[in-house]
Amino acid sequence: TLREGNICSDFLVKNGASSDFDLTIHTSPPKGFFDILRSDVEEFFRE
């Protein structure tokens, strides 16, 4: 479903919600993001 396909965005939202800053601009993805992205990509190609 569409909801299941938003794992990367969920990760970023949770990461931002736990931050003490109003705005965070990443120069590189947060730790753990590539693992989640890889999982999303692999799932996309399985369908």
Q: What is the pLDDT of residues 12-23, one digit of tens each?
A: 888 888 888 888
Q: What percent of the chain has pLDDT over 90?
A: 11
How far is 10 from 31, CA to CA, in rounded Å? 14
Domain that holds residue 33: 3-46
CA distance 30 to 15: 8
Considering the entire predicted model, what is its pTM?
Answer: 0.60
Question: How many folded domains does the chain comprise?
Answer: 1
- pLDDT at 35 (0 to 100): 92
